[in-house]
C-alpha cells in the first residue's frame, strides 16, 4: 500500500522548528477534547504564526495525523492542501484590499451553521484577524461565542490590540514569542548564507520569516546610510529636516519598524554603558546584531541619553500604529519630528 502513495503525497504545511512543540501541545489538547473552539495566535510579524495555524488546520482535518503533523496522504490532507476541503474555510483580504469584509464573514457564518461533511473537525482560519473591519468583527462575535458543532476558529494577528476587546475575550489567546536567536539563525543560514543571516535577523528584530523577506528590501541595502542619519543628527552634522528627507525616501510604515528597532537597541546600549562603564553590549550575548549597523548604534548610544532614545522609540511606535491604521501624513515632517527628539526637541504634542 506504500507503493504509489508517496508519489501522491500532498505538500502539507510544516510549522517552523520553534513551533513544533506548541503544535504538538495543541494536537494533544485536541486528542483529549480540550482544544478551545477559538484560538488567537498573536505575536510579532514574521515568526511563522500563519504557518503554525495552517499546519494545525491541516492536522485537524487529517484522518491519520502522526508525529504532530498531518499525514499528507489521506483524502482530508489532499483536499485541505488543495484548498477544496468542504470543512475548511479561510478568510483573508481579497486581492487589492487589506480588509476582510462583512460579506466574507457572512459566508463564514453560513459555513459555521452547517455540519461536517467528512465527519471530523471543521476549521476556519482568519488571517490577518486585524484585517476584519469593525462591522465584520461584530458579525463574528456570535459565532465566536457559540460556534457550530466541532468548529475550530483560528485567528492570526500581529496587532491583536486592533481587535475589539469582545473578540479577544472570546478567543483563547496564545502569545507566540520570538524564537531563540540560535534557533532562528540555524533556520535562516541555509537559506541566506551565513554572512547575511545575522544581519537580516537583526534587521528583522529577531523575526526569521521577516528576515527572509528583507533580502531584497531597498532599506536593507541602504541601512548603513539610513542608520548613519541618526548619528549625523545626534552629532549635529545634519539637521533633523535634512536627515528626515533621506529617511522619507523609504516607505514610512517599514521605516517606522526599522527605526523603532534601532532606537530601542541604542537605548539598551546606552543604558548598559551608563551602568557598567564597560564596553557595554557584552552583557547580552543572546542578541543577534548586524555588524554593519551595530557600530553606528553604539555611536548613537554614546551621544544621546537612554531616556531620550526611549522617548524617540516610543514616538516612532505611536506613529507606526497610526500609519498602520491608515494615516497618511507628510513623510518628511513625520521623520523630522521623530529625529527632533534625539536633539531634545519634542515638536509634537498633537497627533504624530
Ligand atoms: Zn492526512
The mean pLDDT values, 10 residues at a time, for the chain of 352 residues are: 57 96 95 95 96 97 93 95 95 92 94 89 96 94 89 96 95 96 95 89 91 90 95 97 96 91 94 69 62 95 96 95 88 95 75 45
Those residues whose C-beta lies under 8 Å from the C-beta of residue 99, and which sit 6 or more positions away, are: 93, 131, 132, 133, 136
Say what the pLDDT of residue 222 is: 94
Q: How far is the CA of 60 from the centre of ligand 1 (A)?
A: 9
Say what the pLDDT of residue 277 is: 55
Separation between Cα atoms, residue 53 and residue 126, nearest integer Å: 9
Q: How far is the CA of 45 from the centre of ligand 1 (A)?
A: 29
Q: How far is the CA of 10 from the centre of ligand 1 (A)?
A: 9
| Residue 180 DSSP symbol | P
Separation between Cα atoms, residue 154 and residue 171, nearest integer Å: 9
49-61 and 20-31 helices cross at what angle (nearest 10)? Answer: 30
Say what the pLDDT of residue 347 is: 66
- Nearest in space to 203 (alpha carbons), one of 308, 292, 303, 310: 292
C-alpha cell at 160: 491583536
Say what the pLDDT of residue 325 is: 82
Q: How far is the CA of 124 from the centre of ligand 1 (A)?
A: 18
Is the separation of the CB atoms in 283 and 276 below 8 Å? yes
Say what the pLDDT of residue 207 is: 94
Protein residues placing their CB within 5 Å of the ion ligand 1? 62, 70-71, 74, 77
Q: How far is the CA of 208 from the centre of ligand 1 (A)?
A: 28
Peptide bond connecting 128 to the previous residue in cis, omega within 30 degrees of 0: yes
Q: How far is the CA of 39 from the centre of ligand 1 (A)?
A: 22
pTM of the model: 0.80
Q: How far is the CA of 74 from the centre of ligand 1 (A)?
A: 4
Q: How far is the CA of 59 from the centre of ligand 1 (A)?
A: 7
| CATH 3.40.50.300 is the classification of domain 17-72+88-175 | yes
The architecture that CATH gives domain 217-343 is Up-down Bundle (1.20)
Q: How far is the CA of 91 from the centre of ligand 1 (A)?
A: 22
Query: Where does CATH 3.40.50.300 sit in the chain?
Result: 17-72+88-175
Separation between Cα atoms, residue 127 and residue 157, nearest integer Å: 7
Q: What is the CA radius of gyration of the chain?
A: 23
Say what the pLDDT of residue 9 is: 87
Number of residues assigned to the chain? 352
| Residue 69 DSSP symbol | B
Q: The cell 469593525 sits on which residue? A: 134
Say what the pLDDT of residue 346 is: 78
Say what the pLDDT of residue 281 is: 43
Q: How far is the CA of 17 from the centre of ligand 1 (A)?
A: 20
Q: How far is the CA of 302 from the centre of ligand 1 (A)?
A: 57
Report in angstroms the alpha-carbon separations of 221 from 46, 134, 216, 242.
19, 38, 8, 20
Separation between Cα atoms, residue 63 and residue 120, nearest integer Å: 8
Q: How far is the CA of 75 from the centre of ligand 1 (A)?
A: 7
Separation between Cα atoms, residue 216 and residue 220, nearest integer Å: 8
| Residue 82 DSSP symbol | H
Query: Where does CATH 1.20.272 sit in the chain?
Result: 217-343
Q: How far is the CA of 80 from the centre of ligand 1 (A)?
A: 9
Those residues whose C-beta lies under 8 Å from the C-beta of residue 188, and which sit 6 or more positions away, are: 197, 200, 201, 208, 211, 212
Using DSSP, state whether 39 is helix, strand or coil: strand
Sheet containing 38-42: order of strands: 88-91, 122-126, 151-157, 38-42, 172-175
Amino acid at each position: 500500500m506504500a507503493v504509489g502513495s508517496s508519489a501522491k503525497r500532498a505538500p502539507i504545511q510544516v510549522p517552523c522548528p520553534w513551533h513544533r512543540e506548541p503544535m504538538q501541545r495543541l494536537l494533544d489538547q485536541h486528542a483529549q477534547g480540550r482544544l478551545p473552539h477559538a484560538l488567537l495566535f498573536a505575536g510579532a510579524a514574521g515568526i511563522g504564526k500563519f504557518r503554525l495555524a495552517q499546519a494545525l488546520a491541516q492536522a485537524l482535518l487529517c484522518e491519520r495525523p502522526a508525529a504532530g503533523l498531518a499525514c499528507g496522504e489521506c483524502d482530508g490532507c489532499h483536499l485541505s492542501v488543495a484548498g477544496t476541503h468542504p470543512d475548511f474555510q479561510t478568510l483573508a483580504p481579497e486581492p487589492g484590499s487589506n480588509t476582510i469584509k462583512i460579506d466574507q464573514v457572512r459566508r463564514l457564518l453560513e459555513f459555521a451553521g452547517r455540519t461536517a461533511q467528512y465527519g471530523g473537525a471543521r476549521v476556519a482560519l482568519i488571517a490577518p484577524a486585524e484585517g476584519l473591519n469593525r462591522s465584520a468583527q461584530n458579525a463574528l462575535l456570535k459565532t465566536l461565542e457559540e460556534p457550530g458543532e466541532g468548529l475550530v476558529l483560528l485567528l492570526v494577528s500581529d496587532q491583536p490590540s486592533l481587535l475589539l476587546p469582545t473578540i479577544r475575550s472570546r478567543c483563547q489567546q496564545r502569545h507566540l514569542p520570538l524564537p531563540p536567536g540560535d534557533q532562528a539563525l540555524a533556520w535562516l543560514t541555509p537559506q541566506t548564507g551565513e554572512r547575511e543571516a545575522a544581519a537580516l535577523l537583526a534587521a528583522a528584530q529577531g523575526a526569521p520569516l521577516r528576515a527572509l523577506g528583507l533580502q531584497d528590501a531597498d532599506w536593507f541595502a541602504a541601512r548603513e546610510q539610513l542608520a548613519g542619519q541618526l548619528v549625523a543628527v545626534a552629532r549635529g552634522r545634519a539637521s533633523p529636516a535634512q536627515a528626515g528627507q533621506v529617511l522619507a525616501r523609504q516607505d514610512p510604515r517599514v521605516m517606522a519598524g526599522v527605526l523603532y528597532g534601532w532606537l530601542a537597541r541604542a537605548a539598551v546600549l546606552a543604558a548598559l554603558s551608563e551602568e557598567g562603564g564597560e564596553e557595554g553590549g557584552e552583557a547580552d550575548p543572546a542578541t543577534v546584531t548586524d555588524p554593519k549597523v551595530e557600530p553606528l548604534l553604539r555611536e548613537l548610544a554614546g551621544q544621546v541619553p537612554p531616556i531620550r532614545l526611549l522617548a524617540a522609540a516610543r514616538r516612532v511606535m505611536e506613529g507606526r500604529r497610526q500609519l498602520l491604521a491608515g494615516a497618511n501624513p507628510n513623510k518628511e515632517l513625520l521623520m523630522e519630528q521623530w529625529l527632533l527628539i534625539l536633539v531634545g526637541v519634542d515638536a509634537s504634542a498633537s497627533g504624530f
